[in-house]
Structure 1
Amino acid sequence: MALVSTDLHESAPEEATLTSQQFQAYNKLVGILYACLHDSRGFQPFFDAFQSHFKALQGGILGVSDNPQRLVYGWTFGYPEGFEQWYINSDLPERDEALTRFRHLPPRQFDSFLRGDESQTILDMLNPESRAWAEAVGMGDSAGMLVTRQADTNVVFMANRHKDFGPYSELEILQMNLLAPHIENAITLHFKLYQSSSDNESLAMALDHVNKPMIVFNALATIAQANQAARTLIDNSQSLHIGSNQRLTSSDDRLSRQLADAITTNLVNANQGRADTHTLFVENRDERIAICLTPLQSERAEHNGLLAELFNYRIDMTPDLGKLQSLFLCTPAEAAIAAELVHGLGAAEIADKNGISVHTARQHIKNLLSKNGYRKQTELVAMLVKTLS
């Protein structure tokens, strides 16, 4: 998420050496890194120490797909609230030159863009969109490495730096490269914790006792468990399938991207302590599938994940307006708008379909939110779907 571009310079010369004090600091970072495997906060303690030691502005561990280049999952630090969610759902990951460059490095080899050259500025290396972001945060340099390649995902560690601290020096890159194999080991071990938690037999048994189709994703965006009802629904769907990589996807590229972005957004929300629900609508001939995604938060970071509830109903289903009025404390006009929300329509589409102004449609939605104690339209839509499907 550095949003920077240029050719990388060659690796740091071997002549650079660490002082005793610097070596002690390096050892401390290694200790904090491995301690994260037993810390309920996940990698946050290491991010804090790395950020302080290298005067980093922001960064994290990011899982990035190849084609298209999209953020699949990630643990980040230093970004303003809401940035990750906006970034995931924008087109920027596909054009983020830092992600592109770092994921094409040899594994376990840090490099930076300026490499200590104070005569250059990172702004000269950016496209217009990237330059706007870099100027806004005061970015001065970006360093990163490819941690490992896993099937369809490249795992990248990256750290941006504020211009006030100058570019990363040759000596700092040397220290990062000493850390590199330890970062790879720690992340590999951490992934095993996620993967082992996905083999939880009690979770599988619990889901299979639920008749409603449900899927649990782990923090790597892969399916930890899907109950039989969910697998049957997906098998009968023309739009959804579970790939060999255990990801929920679609033969429709647009829908596949929407699914991936929604899953990643909700996993980021889980890691950041947010519980916002997101609903996607999948149309399949005369049927519609609503997918309600809810972040799952645990005392331990490796147990965070995502719950997907799937609801299958006919496109021509007419919601019971009387039931809507009773359950959602609304007027007949508001109930009619709620019925349209169940079909996945937005305010503009509702206004056009019902011959009312967009302002009126939005006001009805606002009333439904306030009367039922919801902050966001996505929360209201999820509850409408769950109640009426």
Structure 2
Amino acid sequence: MTILTPTFAPHPDEDACLPLPSLGGNDLYAYNQLVSTLYRCLHDNAGFQPFFSAFQQHFKALQGGILGVTANPQRMVYGWTFGYPEGFEEWYINSDLPERDEALTRYVQLPPRQFDSFLRGDTSRTILDILGPESRAWAEAVGMGDSAGMLVTRENGTNVVFMANRHQDFGPYTDDELLQMNLLAPHIENAVALHLKLYQSNSDNENLAMALNHVNKPLMVFNALGSIAQANDAARNLLTHTGNLFIGEDQRLHSSDKRLTRKLHDAISTCIVHSHKGHLDTRTLFVRNGHERLAICLTPLVAESVENNGVLAELFSFDSELAPDLERLQTLFQCTPAEASVAATLIQGLSAKEIAEEKQISVHTVRQYIKNLLAKNGYRKQTELVAMMVRALG
């Protein structure tokens, strides 16, 4: 793969007539402005939106961002984006698309700090000639004309990628534009590394550890990279007891079941995106281990100091063979005996279909009971209702 490097003059042994990209006064001024804007983003942890806006305007970029992606499998775990529709990050995290994203796959294979584009200035082709069917469908839908990107850094099993797609109306990225991007590359690497160090490294937060250990219930806090900032003693003891979950060397939560590990990471990453947006919706995951049920309630943290945003995980252990306290459910959630019976199975992590099979009633009836529970208790989402029931009975 040929990579454009920021060379200003040919080597003395090379043919002096070879055309090389160069920067004029306006381009140099714009480059300096981009660098200044990039480093100003380090004044707080709001992310890189000011830089994205300047980059988008200067390079006529359509959409893109800085994405933290695990290596195997290729999954997004955190990031900042621009130009995508509302909810894109959540959808992208919880889909298989990163594993099949040809741009991501291309950029993670580059040497660090070196931009490349799909077309490399070739106006005789379009990016649709290069992409596979699935990526081509996305590119056609948004009118993509080219894509440029680089591998920012590769560390601890995570690749950080910068990418910027461009609308077809502006043609492919030119050699001059790729030269400017390559001049920006080391600055992007520095800014991302400093941002992660300044705002998202909480491993030495002793105050947080002390605070969590004052609580008897099992609690864990994840930082904005999806790593465990702290887990109190009760949480560590519960993980040891269940044997199905553990804290890996990468300081992330893992399961012996790879599918469950992926589900956990996707849910945590989604909550991290929500924390950046100030959305506080709680979601609950269930881990089954024989007759034991472990419920994990994940809540985005939006702290007074924004650099402490992250995710709080509350862990609850249940014995599915013990009869649920239906009377307590009726009292707490203002429901009928039939609705309480359905609520008790929701707490065990059963789906509407599984509940219908267990209760020998129709799925429609189960869903109606759930709607009644939502309406009576003022919840819009089933995930919020389930989280509250788990907390109430845990």
Partner AA of 1:283 in structure 2: R
Of residues 123, 132, 140 in structure 2, which corresponds to 1:127? 132
Question: Unmatched 5+ residue regions in structure 2?
Answer: 8-19
Q: 1:99-248 to 2 correspondence within 5 Å? A: 99-248=104-253
Q: Partners in 2 of 1:181 and 1:99 — Cα distance?
A: 19
Question: What is residue 364 of structure 2 aligned with on the other side?
Answer: 359
Of residues 314, 334, 349 in structure 1, which corresponds to 2:319? 314
Partner AA of 1:306 in structure 2: V
Q: Partners in 1 of 2:83 and 2:278 — Cα distance?
A: 16
Maintained 8 Å contact 2:334/2:376: yes
Shift in alpha-carbon separation, 1:285–1:352, aligned structure 2, 3 A = closer
Counterpart of 2:242 in 1: which secondary structure?
coil
Moved over 4 A (4+): none
Q: Partners in 1 of 2:353 and 2:299 — Cα distance?
A: 26
Larger Rg: 2
Question: What is residue 17 of structure 1 aligned with on the other side?
Answer: 22
Q: Percent identity, aligned pairs only?
A: 69
| Aligned: 1:276 with 2:281 | yes
Of residues 82, 102, 107 in structure 2, which corresponds to 1:97? 102
Deviation at 1:196, TM superposition (A): 4.2
Q: Partners in 2 of 1:317 and 1:78 — Cα distance?
A: 50
Counterpart of 1:245 in 2: which secondary structure?
coil
Q: Partners in 2 of 1:258 and 1:285 — Cα distance?
A: 19
Q: Partners in 2 of 1:366 and 1:128 — Cα distance?
A: 40
Q: Partners in 1 of 2:343 and 2:235 — Cα distance?
A: 26
Q: 1:44-63 to 2 correspondence within 5 Å? A: 44-63=49-68
Counterpart of 2:392 in 1: which secondary structure?
helix
Partner AA of 2:228 in structure 1: I
Of residues 322, 334, 347 in structure 1, which corresponds to 2:352? 347
Q: Partners in 2 of 1:52 and 1:245 — Cα distance?
A: 37
Question: What is residue 74 of structure 1 aligned with on the other side?
Answer: 79
Question: What is residue 13 of structure 2 aligned with on the other side?
Answer: none
Partner AA of 1:244 in structure 2: E
Q: Partners in 2 of 1:267 and 1:279 — Cα distance?
A: 15
1:274-327 CA deviation, whole Å, 9 max, x = no partner? 222111111122311111111112355532211111111112233211111111
1:135-166 CA deviation, whole Å, 9 max, x = no partner? 22111111110011111111111111111221
Partner AA of 1:176 in structure 2: M
Q: Partners in 2 of 1:210 and 1:200 — Cα distance?
A: 17
Counterpart of 2:30 in 1: which secondary structure?
helix
TM-score by length of 2: 0.93
TM-score by length of 1: 0.94
Deviation at 1:39, TM superposition (A): 2.8
Counterpart of 1:236 in 2: which secondary structure?
helix
Cα-Cα RMSD: 1.6
Counterpart of 1:225 in 2: which secondary structure?
strand
